[in-house]
A and B are shown apart, each in its own frame.
Chain A
Amino acid sequence: GAGVSQSPSNKVTEKGKDVELRCDPISGHTALYWYRQSLGQGLEFLIYFQGNSAPDKSGLPSDRFSAERTGGSVSTLTIQRTQQEDSAVYLCASSLARSRGQFFGPGTRLTVL
């Protein structure tokens, strides 16, 4: 079956612009995660959605970052007023249950000039 998909695969933007990154999880997976992978910080958790529960936003680095998940499926990560330190690969993952592991998409490479 189809895996996790993310779009765009690459995004180049200018400092100060807003960007939206999209994630389509595996059908039927109730949990959705966003992570960030950068050279300096490695793989960092950003936010987690589980069904209709309030999201765990504990990993968001600043209030410029937000995410939503509509209809329990597609998720959008929004970064407002982008900064150069936001440059990274943003990875989305989905899961049916914690014990089954998380399945990752190919990522969106964000470059802020």
Chain B
Amino acid sequence: AQSVTQLDSQVPVFEEAPVELRCNYSSSVSVYLFWYVQYPNQGLQLLLKYLSGSTLVKGINGFEAEFNKSQTSFHLRKPSVHISDTAEYFCAVSGSGGGGNKLTFGTGTQLKVEL
């Protein structure tokens, strides 16, 4: 079984400032890690994913995330946010071995970008 913790329910930040959204996971098996973004009244959009290999992964809209196995973390970062980045961000995990195809999500972090 897997679990995901997003400790920050809300993160306010000024436009053009950097941001980090934290994600920690727990799993007894190897995992794939994902970040999704949800804009108001829309479905989830895949931002980026970590499967294996390089621990720094780049996604859409200038976001990147770093996988840290020893700290079981997969924090999302953006060096300079825009007002249009205001949305809810979900970290998710699935098992990478046989079975376990479902995604287990964190509770989400609401990113609010202010002028």
Contacts and interface: CB of A to CB of B under 8 A. Distances in A.
Interface of A: 4, 31, 33, 35, 42-43, 45, 48, 50, 56, 59, 91, 93, 95, 98-99, 101-107
Contact of A101 (B34, B43, B102): B34
A28 to B, nearest CB: 17
Interface stretch (B15-23, B44-52, B69-77): B44-52
Given A101-B49, A103-B46, 11 more contacts: A4-B43, A43-B90, A43-B92, A43-B108, A56-B101, A56-B102, A98-B96, A99-B51, A102-B46, A104-B36, A106-B42
A111 to B, nearest CB: 14
A108 to B, nearest CB: 10
B103 interface: yes
A45 B102 contact: yes
Contact of B94 (A42, A59, A91, A98): A98
Interface residues of B, number: 22
Interface of B: 32, 34, 36, 42-46, 49, 51, 90, 92, 94, 96, 101-108
A45 B104 contact: yes
A77 to B, nearest CB: 15
Most chain B beta-carbon contacts within 10 A, residue among A91, A95, A101: A101
A17 to B, nearest CB: 24
A43 B105 contact: yes
A31 B99 CA distance: 13
A93 B101 CA distance: 12
Contact of A107 (B43, B51, B102): B43
Contact of B108 (A42, A95, A105): A42
A56 B90 CA distance: 23
Contact of B44 (A31, A45, A91): A91
B96 to A, nearest CB: 8
A43 B36 CA distance: 12
Contacts of A105: 43
A59 B49 contact: no
21 contacts: A31-B101, A33-B102, A42-B105, A42-B108, A43-B90, A45-B102, A45-B104, A48-B101, A56-B101, A59-B102, A91-B43, A93-B44, A98-B32, A98-B94, A98-B101, A99-B49, A99-B96, A101-B34, A101-B49, A104-B43, A105-B43
